[in-house]
Amino acid sequence: MFIWFHKLASPPYFYKFAGMLAPWLGWLSLFVIAAGLYGGLWLAPPDYQQGDGFRIIYVHVPSAWMSMLVYMVMAVAAAIGLIWRMKLAHAVSAAAAPLGASFTFIALVTGSLWGKPMWGTYWVWDARLTSELILLFLYVGYMALNHAFEDRRTGDRASAILALVGIVNIPIIHYSVKWWNTLHQGPTVFFGPRAEMPPSMYIPLFIMIIGFMVYFAAFILKRLQVEVLQRERNTAWVRALVAKS
């Protein structure tokens, strides 16, 4: 197991492994997201207060969830890259950033579209919305810093520190609705006697979250293949690969 893990960290082996796995995960995510959308948009009942408008939750919550999960992946990879100088770890951070930024952007836009009819405004500067916007800036800042240096390794290290510093924002986003009075409502309780959402509504939601995770897995592998090729462009195995194609 450990030997396999070690082998996986070697770029040529990883390139092949990712190329094999990514298409399968991609199709799987398409299937899971289609199932989740069908459950959310057709099977789930309308909400007693918000009617059919609440259905945007099936995109908003999974993307908001992913925006934080991807950041944690990025920050942990950055820490591994800094401490163990693992080649692949910095590549993981660099590949995750644009995906995380996209999820954050989708969460902000869908939240805004949801806010207008329900709250009466597209945007307010409450703690939840503001901290999520800061998350988007962190992703964008990471990407800018990562590419700001001639030497890729310098950029990797500088941006890894930014990723680490930004991790404090994650608990702030998560607990913002508990620590402060916000316009954004608190977290919904799904299970137990005080559950605030019936299974007919939360099962499609969880399917969507799983679908988004599989989608992320598929696309980070694809992006990692590109990262690995760029970073290893002067090595013999990449030249052999290019010569072959």
Partner 1 sequence: MTPVRRKRLIIVVVIVAGVAMAAALGLQAFRKNLLYYFTPVQVAAGDAHVGQHFRMGGLVAMGSVQRSPGSMTVHFTLTDMQKSVPVVYTGILPDLFREGQGIVVYGTLDKQGLFVAQQVLAKHDAKYMPPEVAAAIKKAKAAQQAQIAAKGAS
Q: How far apart are CA 175 and CA 5, in angstroms?
A: 35
Q: How far apart are CA 243 and CA 75, in angstroms?
A: 36
Q: Say whether residue 189 binds partner 1 (CB under 8 A).
A: yes
Out of 84, 122, 191, 237, the only residue in the binding site for partner 1 (CB under 8 A) is 84
Q: Say whether residue 207 binds partner 1 (CB under 8 A).
A: no
Check if the beta carbon of residue 229 is closer than 8 Å to that of residue 82: no
Query: Nearest-CA neighbor of 94 among 138, 143, 140, 134?
Result: 143
Question: DSSP string covering 168-226, please?
Answer: THHHHHHHHHHHS--SS--PPP-SSTT-SS-HHHHHHHHHHHHHHHHHHHHHHHHHHHH
Q: Which x/- pattern, by CB under 8 A, does the window 118-157 give for partner 1?
A: xxxx--xxxx------------------------------
Amino acid at 230: Q
Query: Nearest-CA neighbor of 77 among 100, 61, 104?
Result: 100
* Min separation Cβ 109 and partner 1, Å: 19
Between 84 and 191, whose beta carbon lies closer to partner 1?
Answer: 84
Out of 183, 210, 217, 241, the only residue in the binding site for partner 1 (CB under 8 A) is 183
Question: Stretches 23-31, 143-151, 192-200, 218-226: which one binds partner 1 (CB under 8 A)?
Answer: 192-200
* Min separation Cβ 125 and partner 1, Å: 8
* Min separation Cβ 135 and partner 1, Å: 14
Q: Say whether residue 117 binds partner 1 (CB under 8 A).
A: yes
Q: Say whether residue 181 binds partner 1 (CB under 8 A).
A: yes
Q: Say whether residue 167 binds partner 1 (CB under 8 A).
A: yes
Q: Which of residues 24-53 bind partner 1 (CB under 8 A)?
A: 45-50
Between 93 and 102, whose beta carbon lies closer to partner 1?
Answer: 93
Q: Say whether residue 2 binds partner 1 (CB under 8 A).
A: no
Out of 14, 15, 54, 58, the only residue in the binding site for partner 1 (CB under 8 A) is 54
Q: Say whether residue 72 binds partner 1 (CB under 8 A).
A: no
CB 171: neighbour CB atoms within 10 A?
12
Q: Say whether residue 9 binds partner 1 (CB under 8 A).
A: no
Check if the beta carbon of residue 127 is closer than 8 Å to that of residue 176: yes
CA 185 vs CA 112, 117, 190, 196: distances in Å? 14, 15, 15, 12
Q: Report which DSSP code applies to 56.
A: G
Q: Which residues contact 114 (CB under 8 A, 6 or more apart)?
A: 53, 56, 57, 60
Site of interaction with partner 1 (CB under 8 A): 45-50, 54, 57, 79, 82-84, 117-121, 124-127, 161, 164-165, 167-168, 172, 179-183, 185-189, 196-198, 200-201
